[in-house]
Structure 1
Amino acid sequence: MISLSTFAGFMAAIAVLGSAIVMSTDNYLLFVSYSSVVIVLGGTFTATLVSYSFPLLAGAIKTLFVNLLNEDNYKKESHRIIKRAAELNGVYRNGGIAALEGALTAKEQKDQFITLCIELIGTGYKGEELNNMLTESNSSQSHEEERSSKVLETMGAFAPGFGMIGTLIGLIIMLDNLSGDFAELGKGLAIALLTTLYGVCFAQLLFKPAATRAFRRIDDNFQLRELQARSFVLILERKPDLYLKDNLNGFLSSKHRLKEQ
């Protein structure tokens, strides 16, 4: 579902900045400069491309929109995993690995971590050995997910710098027209100031918050996969459902624990 906090944050930022502009001037178009947007965004993307590869840049842009448009509820997802683990526990206890594989939903079959769990169980790994292998896989997956977040973080660092470059361009235009057309002088001043404003706004309201949300999502995903890994270890050991639920609840904080037993 859409992230309500992100939407509310953007609306609040627009309201604050818009109110400041409305209270300061009647000429709102003073704050619109397409050339400034091109300098800041174009410069940020090109510098990021110099630093990273095309796939990483594309992944960062995808991560940006995913974080803005989608928000998973950690509590609900952890509860879903615990309940699903209890279901699969009964399936494995009654029918073994073949029944467990057949009980997976289409979504679970596309989940690389879950399919790895099933594959390792089918291979014959058990107990601590299985847990260690899944932990290593979880860490590797989190490390891979962090790449896009670091790209967004880099873009947040580049944007104000290109705002300053736009300021220098504007100042050069101003100096070149000191004894000439005053309209061109004003244009240069607008570019000089607006690119700095745009650079700071893109960094502080878009790239950096997106990177922070991405890192938080990665941490949540790591914890959820850790919960899944533990659940499959307990399933393999054929633990009773009540023991399984209590054990998995131990991974959650007291306010997030599943009350239903």
Structure 2
Amino acid sequence: MQILGFIILGFVVWFGFKDRGNAQVVSAFDPHALVMVVVGSASAVLVSSSHTTALRTLLCLRELIPGLRLFGHTTAQMEAEREQLYTLWREGKRSGALSLAEKSRFAAVKQMVELILNRSPEVASSKAFLELRHEEISRWQPAISNWEMLSKLGPAFGMVGTITGMIQLFRNMNSDNLNIGSAMSLALLATLYGVAFGAGVAGPIGHYLNGLLDERLGFLERCEKSVNELVARGGS
């Protein structure tokens, strides 16, 4: 994955020196600058990530699309099962709680029943759910960190696009039909795209994903508290 990232990074630098077409025409949309920012930022993610983390970084985008959101939807399902299990056990419906845990596809819910049945002390439940929290963090934090990194790399690759555009401008200064104002405007579009991508896209996505992870960790904390309470009630 790192080799692919370096290859794409080299392509981005090469692409930055390609002719940007008619510098007399200035538009708010410049595909050349867009490629520099988006592809350049993506190459940096590939260099710094394993193939699993890179794929997970891309899949995080589905959390922004209604109907495709999985992480937050799964957390809501887990919370519903936790509340149902807690209620059944408090009401003395142990068989219903055991049946719910047996059918559940969530490790945290199964862990709750196992700890309750064993009347585990708080130290044991704390250790069990600490491991589950570490699993969630190790699974999702690298992808979230990539989005946070993209919020900083976007403006940087925008500057790369602008610098290469300025180099082209200076190289063509002797051209008779060169419109310096238009050429400079075209070069600066890369910086505009970079800032917009970093501050308006990647940064908010990273913040949103951090919120989803916090909700998942909060669910695990509530599971631990529920176990401790039910074990204490059983003991009393």
- TM-score, length-scaled by structure 1: 0.66
Rounded to whole Å, the distance in 2 between the matches of 1:84 and 1:43 is: 48
2:120 is the alignment partner of 1:126: yes
2:175 is the alignment partner of 1:175: no
What is the aligned partner in structure 2 of residue 89 from structure 1? Answer: 89
Report how far residue 34 of structure 1 moved. 0.6
Residues 156-178 of structure 1 deviation map (CA, whole Å, 9 limit, x = unaligned) = 11111100000011111111221
The AA in structure 2 aligned to 1:205 is G
What is the aligned partner in structure 1 of residue 131 from structure 2? Answer: 137
Report the count of equivalent residues: 206
Report how far residue 234 of structure 1 moved. 2.9
Deviates more, 1:202-211 or 1:213-222: 213-222
Residues 58-117 of structure 1 deviation map (CA, whole Å, 9 limit, x = unaligned) = 2122223314645959xx8898467424433157x3446xx53312485xx222222333
Which of 124, 140, 146 matches 2:141? 146
The AA in structure 2 aligned to 1:89 is W
Rounded to whole Å, the distance in 2 between the matches of 1:206 and 1:57 is: 18
Rounded to whole Å, the distance in 2 between the matches of 1:132 and 1:151 is: 30
> Using a 3 Å threshold, how does the CA distance of structure 1 residues 228 and 180 change in structure 2: closer, same or farther?
same
SS of corresponding position for 2:27: helix
Which of 209, 216, 219 matches 1:214? 209
Which of 156, 159, 169 matches 1:164? 159
Rounded to whole Å, the distance in 2 between the matches of 1:54 and 1:185 is: 43
Report how far residue 204 of structure 1 moved. 0.3
Report how far residue 198 of structure 1 moved. 0.3
Contact 2:155 2:198 in 1 (8 A): yes
Rounded to whole Å, the distance in 2 between the matches of 1:238 and 1:134 is: 20
Report how far residue 136 of structure 1 moved. 1.3
SS of corresponding position for 1:175: helix
Contact 1:85 1:232 in 2 (8 A): no
Which of 88, 103, 108 matches 1:113? 108
Rounded to whole Å, the distance in 2 between the matches of 1:78 and 1:213 is: 20
SS of corresponding position for 1:234: helix
The AA in structure 2 aligned to 1:45 is A
Rounded to whole Å, the distance in 2 between the matches of 1:95 and 1:80 is: 17
Matches within 5 A, 1:42-121: 42-67=39-64, 69=66, 70=69, 80=80, 83-90=83-90, 93-95=92-94, 99-104=96-101, 109-121=104-116
SS of corresponding position for 1:45: helix
User: Structure 1: where are the runs of 5+ without partners?
Assistant: 1-27, 240-261
What is the aligned partner in structure 2 of residue 202 from structure 1? Answer: 197
In percent, how many aligned pairs have the same letter? 20
The AA in structure 2 aligned to 1:141 is E
Rounded to whole Å, the distance in 2 between the matches of 1:100 and 1:82 is: 10
Rounded to whole Å, the distance in 1 between the matches of 2:106 and 2:155 is: 39
Rounded to whole Å, the distance in 2 between the matches of 1:81 and 1:199 is: 43
User: Structure 2: where are the runs of 5+ without partners?
Assistant: 1-24
> Using a 3 Å threshold, how does the CA distance of structure 1 residues 78 and 52 change in structure 2: closer, same or farther?
closer
The AA in structure 2 aligned to 1:134 is A
> Using a 3 Å threshold, how does the CA distance of structure 1 residues 34 and 219 change in structure 2: closer, same or farther?
same
What is the aligned partner in structure 2 of residue 255 from structure 1? Answer: none
